[in-house]
Structure 1
Amino acid sequence: MTTPAYLEDNDGEHRLPLRPPGTRTESHKTSPFAAQREHQMFFGPLKKIANELYDAGPVNGPGDALERLQKIQRLLSSVEAVICVLLADSVEQVSESFSDFIATENTHTAEEEAEARKSAAYYGVDRGSEQTINSNLIAEAAVALRESPRKVGKRMFHAKGLRHVCKTTLLALAAGEITAKAAHDIVKYSQDLGPGQVSLMEQTLLPLARTASDETVYQRARRLHDRLNPDSAENRQKDAMAARNVKVWNDEDGMATLQLHHRADVIHSIRNSIKQAAAQSTDPKDPRTQTQLEADALADVYLNGWPGMEGMPLKPRVSITIPAVEMLANPTRALADLEGHGPIPIGVALELAADAPSFQRVLTDPWTGAAIDVEPKKYRPSQGLRDFLRHRDQHCGFPGCRRPADRSEIDHIEAFGQGGHTTRRNTHLLCKQHQMFKHALGWKVFACPDGSKTWVSPHGLRSITIPESVANVANFDHVNDHCPQRTSDDAAHKVHLTPEVRRVLGLGQDEDLPDTGTG
């Protein structure tokens, strides 16, 4: 049985027998000859397999296709090995000079460096610490690989484990002899072991991993780890209990999943209580299945309390965007947007809106879908700007970050102290971590006329981010850096003034849209 997909692993570099930074000689070549030899060791198999696949020509039948699939699997293993080497070596090499690099290469004036040092003190971060350097390079690598920082963080864990701990496993991976999954499992179950025990694990598992399935390697690695791990079962249970949590996943079709990870007896007690609550529904006309009754019972308990008890004192708050024009034009196809989740059916949104204590109108661009203004009502200007950014950005604007708006803050793109204004163009949402990246670790961001943002990492990688509310990016022009150009002959961009649309826009039956000169 594999580890369930919903379980959050608690892998950590501190659990691997890693030597201190600066002493990991694998990442520091002693001579050009050693560097060239290692380059051939890791890139040679990759080049050889790629050339074989290219030179083979068109596929000649199923047998030939299957043989090529085997080669492609070896190629993927070699690519993964190279990625691990590049990640582990990069973070090791930059750790020796990161603070100096930020001070000398990535800022242009002494004032900027002084401001960065002040920001580092404000955020309580040591720019030269291993943790800071690790998280910063992970963010840069995420831009390069177009993956989330969370996924690259897991890659970094495996990279350091293979490069500095399970070296024989890395060589087997580079040669295409084992799969990336097998290599990762060997690293995973090398945690909490000593160097000698890791060596024994490699000797035991690598011969098997060259021919067996990934599932077989996983099971053997897990059992071997339990035998070698000197920690007691009681201590492992305490660590597992410390990792209890509640998590949410957004699913398709307007659904989501809530997970409670807790001690087994607690979970089974909750499960039995839910079954008992669902069994109280004896209405023969109730069309719900037993599974549906249990799901509804659990939801009712969290939102309204157990039957016969008062409801929750704190009512939940959600934000829903309902596109009025789309809803009137074609209510069967229109979709609303649930903050922190994404699209939901318009019917569900209208049911939720029926109980809403208040409404706030948001003006959106009919071509791109981006929020361009928020009705201020009685709010102070700062609150109006915050509401606007919540609707426009919807989450932290750092590349790859999805922390929701309620966990982010308004940040000035051009610093207020350097003449930046508190305007829609010069502000965006950033979470605390990525405010620290921008102000203390050398990341830069620039607002582009087309509404996008260009981020530049400390080592010069560029990444373009677009506000989450933007639905149509076909006419965005990042190369020439100007506003989106709209063609007047595009039928999809024309608004038909039906009586319903006129009513929403506040137009009389004989009144036309004003001419803005934009075509």
Structure 2
Amino acid sequence: MTNQYFASDDDNENRLPLDPPGTRGESQSSSFFADHLIHQMFFGPMKKLVDELFEAGPLKDPGEGLVRLQKIQKLLSMLDAARAVVMADSVELVAQIYAEEPIAKPYLESEQERRERLSANYYAVDRASDQIITSNFVAESAIALRETTKKASAHMFFAKGLRHACPQTLLALAAGQITPSAARAIVKNAQDLSEEQINLMEEQLLPVAATASDDTVSQRARRFHDRSNPEQATARHEEAADGRKVTSWDLKDGTGVIKLVGPITNVRSIMNTLDYETTQHTDPKDTRTKAQLMADIFCDALISGWPTTNGTPLRPRVVVTIPALQMLANPKYALADLEGHGPIPMALALQLAKDAPSIIPVLTDPFSGAVMDVGRKRYKPTRVLKEFLRARDQHCCYPGCRRTADKSEVDHVEAWETGGHTNRENTELLCKQHQMFKHALGWKVINRPDGTKCWRTPHGLNALVVPGSVENVERLDHVHNHCPERKVASPADLRRLLGNLSLRDEELHIRVENPRIIDGNTELDPQEPDPPGSGSAAA
């Protein structure tokens, strides 16, 4: 059984037999007539099939329903093929522009181009390299497709593999003869193969893929790949061992997953150890299942140390926002917010708050939930600004990025050297990767009057970002590019106003913070200097 969350992510376009970027003939124009023939080949049958489904009218017979399902599946295959062609050809057009562009002379540069060149040098990126071109276009594609960058990157690998390495598979997919999953299995197993081997694999698998299940095609493709490279088995194992890592993601209802990728001997040893420890637990009053015991022992080992030890002095940094009004009005159903995750039960939040060394009051907009101000009793002004942004933005403000505030830095929306101020209106949280996008790769950010930010990609797409603390967007004009200025009271006015109200009438959140403790000392965030020519603010 294949689980998408646990599947090995080893796709790498460098393992496909691709020509250098800018020279891939499949994506280059040959003549006006030939270009239109190719366009008709990929989009003509799709249009015909859509017309058939539309003209069929309302469904009246179950058998006809099954026929329509077959046509819809065929249409999905055609759409995947069309998306692959568009993505592969688009990124190749960008590569051609860089390949044909003459070397820029500094004295011909505009001021904006000069700043981007300096920032690119600071981040040590070559904007004309295939890796940077692909990464930048994948980020734009993620906005266009309204998907994560990781999913868009997977689409790009699939697109390049179909367009430039597996042409017969692309044609079969465009004709609706095979499913997208079967096509992905063929492209995935084309890695490390020569062009001749890929052609042979397509000859053997495509007739099977026209009728067989996706699992059958995947197994046959994997067997063909392994038989074609028996001498690479050891090398692949060593390479896989070098890719050992630990990742995590959130699930619903306040739970999450930790994924460990490592040598099978280590994984088996960990599981055997957990299994053994559960057999040593013989308390008849303990009603936990074996699975629950294994999970609890695993957490105890990493957080507090094995039961026979004194544990580790490292305590995690945990930031929780507790809505005081909801807690008083309906404590049974109120939810708090765990930074980097989202809603958690109030009982869990209060348990975390019980031993918290610090509590920071956070003032929020009673209509939208947006953070407007934070307490000023703990840090000097620069620290207060950082605490404000942590509470308001909660994570990196790039569209779709969920890197937490701990992994992001304060950045100027309008660069400091062009007159931007270091204040809450002109600052946001950005991770290192998306600072590079903004300062070196041509991405723009514009502040809008309603508090949202408009990101513009290098090729003209717009994406709006609402601060992470905003819960109600009813009063935000987040559809249009321009909106009237909202008149709101200043934080000082709101504090004076709320000071005259009872606690039940104000929207006052309590921010609870567990700082990282190392050897009994509180670890503060390091101060980093601004990069030259960038808009990064002092954290």
On whether the aligned pair clears a TM of 0.5, the verdict is yes
Shift, 1:178, TM fit: 0.7
Shift, 1:298, TM fit: 1.1
Q: C-alpha distance in 1, partners of 2:264/2:386?
A: 42
Q: Partner of 1:22 in structure 2?
A: 22
Tell me which moved more, 225-234 or 340-349.
225-234
1:501 and 2:504 matched: yes
Shift, 1:276, TM fit: 2.8
Q: C-alpha distance in 2, partners of 1:243/1:284?
A: 42
Contact 1:120 1:436 (C-alpha < 8 Å) held by counterparts: yes
Shift, 1:334, TM fit: 1.1
1:481 and 2:483 matched: yes
Q: C-alpha distance in 1, partners of 2:86/2:395?
A: 30
Shift, 1:143, TM fit: 1.2
TM-superposition CA deviations, 1:72-107 (whole Å, max 9, x none): 111111111111001000100111224998999xxx
Contact 1:393 1:467 (C-alpha < 8 Å) held by counterparts: yes
Change (3 A) 1:498 1:456: closer
Q: Partner of 1:51 in structure 2?
A: 51
Match of 1:360, as an amino acid?
A: I
Change (3 A) 1:411 1:338: same
Shift, 1:503, TM fit: 9.3
Runs of at least 5 residues in structure 1 that lack an aligned partner in the other structure: 487-494, 507-519
Shift, 1:485, TM fit: 8.9
Q: C-alpha distance in 2, partners of 1:377/1:180?
A: 57
Q: Partner of 2:442 in structure 1?
A: 442
Q: Partner of 1:170 in structure 2?
A: 170
Q: Partner of 1:407 in structure 2?
A: 407
Contact 1:244 1:261 (C-alpha < 8 Å) held by counterparts: yes
1:199 and 2:199 matched: yes
Match of 2:41, as an amino acid?
A: M
Q: C-alpha distance in 1, partners of 2:507/2:195?
A: 70
Change (3 A) 1:387 1:103: farther
Shift, 1:169, TM fit: 0.5
Q: C-alpha distance in 2, partners of 1:264/1:419?
A: 55
Q: Partner of 2:394 in structure 1?
A: 394
1:311 and 2:311 matched: yes
Q: C-alpha distance in 2, partners of 1:357/1:103?
A: 57
Q: C-alpha distance in 1, partners of 2:10/2:456?
A: 31
Q: Partner of 2:461 in structure 1?
A: 461
Q: C-alpha distance in 1, partners of 2:505/2:457?
A: 47
TM-superposition CA deviations, 1:250-281 (whole Å, max 9, x none): 01100111122222221122122222333333
Q: Where does 1:322-361 land on structure 2 (aligned, <5 Å)?
A: 322-361=322-361
What is the CA RMSD across the aligned residues, in angstroms?
2.3
Aligned residue for 1:282, secondary structure, equals coil
Aligned residue for 2:298, secondary structure, equals helix
Change (3 A) 1:269 1:204: same
Q: C-alpha distance in 1, partners of 2:409/2:265?
A: 40
Shift, 1:21, TM fit: 1.4
Q: C-alpha distance in 2, partners of 1:44/1:4?
A: 33
Match of 1:244, as an amino acid?
A: R
Contact 1:477 1:483 (C-alpha < 8 Å) held by counterparts: no
Match of 2:243, as an amino acid?
A: A
Q: Partner of 1:367 in structure 2?
A: 367
Q: Where does 1:80-479 land on structure 2 (aligned, <5 Å)?
A: 80-98=80-98, 110-478=110-478, 479=480
Match of 1:302, as an amino acid?
A: L
1:72 and 2:75 matched: no
TM-superposition CA deviations, 1:405-437 (whole Å, max 9, x none): 111111100011111101111000111111111
Runs of at least 5 residues in structure 2 that lack an aligned partner in the other structure: 489-497, 510-539
Q: C-alpha distance in 2, partners of 1:142/1:503?
A: 39
TM-superposition CA deviations, 1:193-242 (whole Å, max 9, x none): 00000001100110011111111111111111111125432212111211
Change (3 A) 1:300 1:483: farther
Q: C-alpha distance in 2, partners of 1:247/1:351?
A: 26
Match of 1:327, as an amino acid?
A: M
Q: C-alpha distance in 1, partners of 2:501/2:379?
A: 33
Change (3 A) 1:309 1:88: same
Q: C-alpha distance in 2, partners of 1:395/1:5?
A: 23
Match of 1:371, as an amino acid?
A: V
Shift, 1:38, TM fit: 0.2
Contact 2:16 2:161 (C-alpha < 8 Å) held by counterparts: yes
Match of 2:152, as an amino acid?
A: V
TM-superposition CA deviations, 1:130-159 (whole Å, max 9, x none): 111111111111111111111100000000
Q: C-alpha distance in 2, partners of 1:251/1:393?
A: 21
Q: C-alpha distance in 2, partners of 1:445/1:502?
A: 36
Contact 1:412 1:426 (C-alpha < 8 Å) held by counterparts: yes
Contact 2:363 2:507 (C-alpha < 8 Å) held by counterparts: no
Aligned residue for 1:68, secondary structure, equals helix
Q: C-alpha distance in 1, partners of 2:439/2:99?
A: 14
Shift, 1:376, TM fit: 2.1
Aligned residue for 2:260, secondary structure, equals strand
TM-score by length of 1: 0.91
Aligned residue for 1:359, secondary structure, equals strand
Q: C-alpha distance in 2, partners of 1:123/1:405?
A: 21
Contact 2:249 2:257 (C-alpha < 8 Å) held by counterparts: yes
Contact 1:102 1:458 (C-alpha < 8 Å) held by counterparts: no
Q: C-alpha distance in 1, partners of 2:263/2:4?
A: 16
Match of 1:354, as an amino acid?
A: K
Q: C-alpha distance in 2, partners of 1:230/1:96?
A: 37
TM-superposition CA deviations, 1:335-369 (whole Å, max 9, x none): 11111111111111111111211111111112111
Tell me which moved more, 309-318 or 84-93.
309-318
Q: C-alpha distance in 2, partners of 1:99/1:329?
A: 64
Change (3 A) 1:4 1:437: closer
Change (3 A) 1:337 1:8: farther
TM-superposition CA deviations, 1:440-469 (whole Å, max 9, x none): 111111011111100111111111111111
Q: C-alpha distance in 1, partners of 2:437/2:260?
A: 32
Q: C-alpha distance in 2, partners of 1:88/1:35?
A: 15
Change (3 A) 1:498 1:434: closer
Aligned residue for 1:361, secondary structure, equals strand
Match of 1:346, as an amino acid?
A: M
Change (3 A) 1:275 1:102: farther
Contact 2:22 2:99 (C-alpha < 8 Å) held by counterparts: no
Q: Partner of 2:520 in structure 1?
A: none
Shift, 1:48, TM fit: 0.9
Change (3 A) 1:80 1:415: same
Q: C-alpha distance in 2, partners of 1:101/1:244?
A: 40
Contact 2:362 2:508 (C-alpha < 8 Å) held by counterparts: no
Q: C-alpha distance in 2, partners of 1:94/1:118?
A: 21
